[in-house]
Structure 1
């Protein structure tokens, strides 16, 4: 446990210095410590900050442990830096491990049960903005949709959170897709868009390998086998994230809910980095 936490603390501290972040002189707890406790909570305590703070205080992991309310305020103040850490972690991972291809997929993030959707406080409103559909289970959900790009070694490189009603192919247009030239991106049937496929190949040199329907104009049987085989890695990433998720992510605001989801993503990535370093 301590090795993963140590790796997370060292990397986060260096990355914050790279981003030019400076703590307030009166602050007793550096930003790197706040984010490390945030990662610790996601790794071992299902995202419960209270338990992570108590663990750090009991084992004296840091010189000063803030109160729960102070910790939440500090964490929310650092929310703008959290998405900026992911591209830097991606660069570090690409230097440590070889990457052959990338996989893009979406995961549902329900914030409540469907029957409670009309009175949900995290994602309020009676509109269909947060209402999404899971084709594999043939059920609807009320919440957010998580778009992930990961490598063939299960490292998450890009993240996008959208309302549940956003289609998968729209996420393809919204994500930056900062991938190397001549890289291959494996997707499922929900990303069938010939125009996007041609534009990515022409402008970015990214080859999209979708799992196509049988009546598709570009259906190719050998290519389907390769796409199906290459996309299987995303199922392992989804299982690893689901293992970290609690039965219900407790949050009082939608921003807090998204912050906890980011914590699980970084916890997964730092666990992969700890296994390599």
Structure 2
């Protein structure tokens, strides 16, 4: 697990490079605007948010009031109340997106796994009265049942590192984002039966240089498959393990969001916290080069 100092140094180095470029490219209306400097820098806000997802706390308010405000004042002299801090959270949405994309994703190894998971934003009895994500979230169905919210589509390698991701409304078919997710990948992409599609396999992915390997349904004819592909297809549970850690350790899902921006910030920080974990689920294929070849 990252130390707080190590995490801040990495985030602060990123902000020193990226923030000036981002601010110079912002469009303005031409009117004079007052820019009041906050007591916490963007890098400090990002660090506190990511650090929460690396801690054992289940709620950010508890983490802020019981730990950060009481024990981290020497590390963050400009700390403010929880209510004031929440008002600053939207300011770090874009830096978090860039940080995740440029500094946290893993390297391609030629062996990739794809899956999706539901991110419910409210309980079933509250679907019709829910207003926070009106027009954004949709009802969808997974193997575990119906939900109201979004789908997070993930691609990881055999070492447990995230390679690509995409967030869609809950009703989007798992196969639709595959060409976008497989862009820049190479080698073999393993998925479950939900990704079965002849058109997707033969027409789209082969033009990208990626071979899609999935299981078959009980009513389908058996398809010849190389032994190594059969073995790796059985190891597809690695991506399900990653999703389990994202939800239960990094806490990317809960039903207490009060705005779409805070939902996205919570999701990004959880993904970043996972990417920075020193130990991730791995198939250990790096020690077996002859087998992989």
User: TM exceeds 0.5?
Assistant: yes
**Structure 1 residue 237 and structure 2 residue 247: aligned?**
no
Is 1:6 paired with 2:5? Answer: yes
Whether the 8 Å CA contact 1:41–1:49 is kept in 2: the answer is no
2:63 is aligned to 51
Could you give the per-residue CA deviations for residues 119-160 of structure 1, whole angstroms, max 9, x where no partner exists? Answer: 1123337x9x6111122x2x2111111111122222223222
Q: Distance in 2 between matches of 1:155 and 1:179?
A: 16
* Shift of residue 249, structure 1, vs aligned partner: 4.0
Inter-CA distance 118–229: structure 2 relative to 1 (3 Å threshold): same
Partner of 1:260: 266
Which of 180, 188, 191 in structure 2 is aligned with 1:187?
A: 191
Q: Give the TM-score normalised by the residue count of structure 1.
A: 0.81
- Given the superposition, is the C-alpha separation of residues 63 and 162 from structure 1 closer, same or farther in structure 2, using an over 3 Å criterion? same
Q: For residues 27 and 208 of structure 1, do their structure 2 counterparts lie closer, same or farther at Cα, with a shift above 3 Å needed? A: same
> What number of residue pairs does the alignment pair up?
264
1:86 paired residue number: 100
Counterpart in the other structure of 1:198? 202
Deviation for aligned residue 1:166 = 0.8
CA offsets 1:149-207 (integer angstroms, 9 cap, x no match): 1222222232222111111011224x343444x33221111112222223454432122
**The residue matched to 1:170 in structure 2 has which SS?**
coil
Deviates more, 1:231-240 or 1:7-16: 7-16
Match of 1:250 in 2: 256
Aligned position for 2:118: 108
Kept in 2: contact 1:112–1:142 (CA 8 A): yes
Unaligned runs of at least 5 residues, structure 1: none
Task: Rate the CA distance shift 1:52–1:179 in 2: closer, same or farther, 3 A.
Answer: farther
Query: Contact conserved, 1:249 with 1:257, CA < 8 A, in 2?
Result: no
Instruction: Give how far 1:35 is off.
Output: 0.6
Instruction: Report the CA distance between 1:4 and its aligned residue.
Output: 3.5
> For residues 26 and 50 of structure 1, what CA distance do their matches in structure 2 show?
26
Structure 2 CA distance for aligned equivalents of residues 217 and 9 of structure 1 = 54
Q: How far apart, in 2, do the equivalents of 1:166 and 1:104 lie?
A: 15
**Given the alignment of the two structures, is residue 121 of structure 1 paired with residue 120 of structure 2, yes or no?**
no
Q: Could you say what secondary structure the match of 1:259 adopts?
A: helix
User: Are the aligned partners of 2:201 and 2:212 in contact in 1 as well (CA < 8 Å)?
Assistant: yes
Q: Is the CA contact (8 Å cut-off) linking 2:154 and 2:162 kept in structure 1? A: yes
Stretches of structure 2 that go unaligned for 5 or more consecutive residues are: 24-34, 281-293
**Greater radius of gyration (CA):** 2
Secondary structure at 2:43 match in 1: helix
d(CA) in 1 for partners of 2:80, 2:142? 40
How many Å apart are 1:31 and its aligned residue? Answer: 1.1
Give me the whole-angstrom Cα distance separating, in 1, the residues matched to 2:171 and 2:65: 36
Aligned to 2:217: 213
